[in-house]
Amino acid sequence: MLNAGRFLFAVCVVLLLAACDRAPTLPRLEPQDVVVAFGDSLTHGTGASEDTAYPAVLASLTGHIVINAGVPGDTTTSGLQRLPEVLAEYQPRLVLLCLGGNDMLRRQPAATTESNLRRLVQAIRASGANVVLIGVPEPKLFGGAPDFYARVAEELRLPLEDEVFNDVLKDNHLKADAIHANAAGYRKVAERLAEFLKQAGAL
């Protein structure tokens, strides 16, 4: 009996550890649920047309309303200021949060960006919406997404997609300029995000 008890305890520990390692999931979106893409020029679609920006393409791929709340030049600080109005207007079920690139371009301290991202996530969750965090690469050769995206995602148990913009912006065929995608690049972003949302359980 003692051995059996130890065995059951060991199984429980293994299952608990496996649950901790599992990627965060999202509730399934209902047909009427609104998704807000909140970010800067990468969300706005600078380098392409409005109907080829990733939120518009994602809407066509998923059949959900996807609001483009991207403002070129936005930082995490200015994003904090305009977020409440966006949440109040659209009352989203899910927010795709993609900010931080302009913080890096303006050499804002990484600790400030990380703190602001944390506050953005907390405000979104307080409104009743779920969050996907989208990381953007550092504006330098071979720059991947900074570690603070992963830290925020881990701490707050967020689904994190921190590779797609790095992959797109490394491919000259998918870029309009050094820091923006073109229409083909934004389509790649939308396709990858649609698959990401399916794997997370939202679609």
pLDDT digits (tens, 9 = 90+) for 50-62: 999 999 999 999 9
Q: What's the chain's length in residues?
A: 203
The first and second tokens of residue 23, run together, are: 């990627």
What is the reported pLDDT for 139?
84
What is the reported pLDDT for 13?
43
Considering its fold, how many domains does the chain have in total?
1
What is the reported pLDDT for 140?
77
**Whether the predicted pLDDT of 82 surpasses 90:** yes
Q: Which residues are CB-neighbours of 32 under 8 A, at least 6 positions away?
A: none
Contact at 8 Å (CB) between 113 and 100? Answer: yes
What number of other Cβ atoms are within 10 A of residue 112's Cβ? 14
What is the reported pLDDT for 12?
46
Distance between CA atoms of residues 6 and 3, nearest Å = 5
pLDDT tens digits, 88-144: 999 999 999 999 999 999 999 999 999 999 999 999 999 999 999 999 999 876 679
Of 140 and 46, more confident: 46
CATH number, position 95: 3.40.50.1110
Q: Which pTM does this prediction carry?
A: 0.88
Q: DSSP secondary-structure letter at 64?
A: S
What is the reported pLDDT for 163?
96
Structural domain span for residue 150: 2-200
**Whether the predicted pLDDT of 40 surpasses 60:** yes
pLDDT tens digits, 173-188: 999 999 999 999 999 9
Contact at 8 Å (CB) between 159 and 124? Answer: no
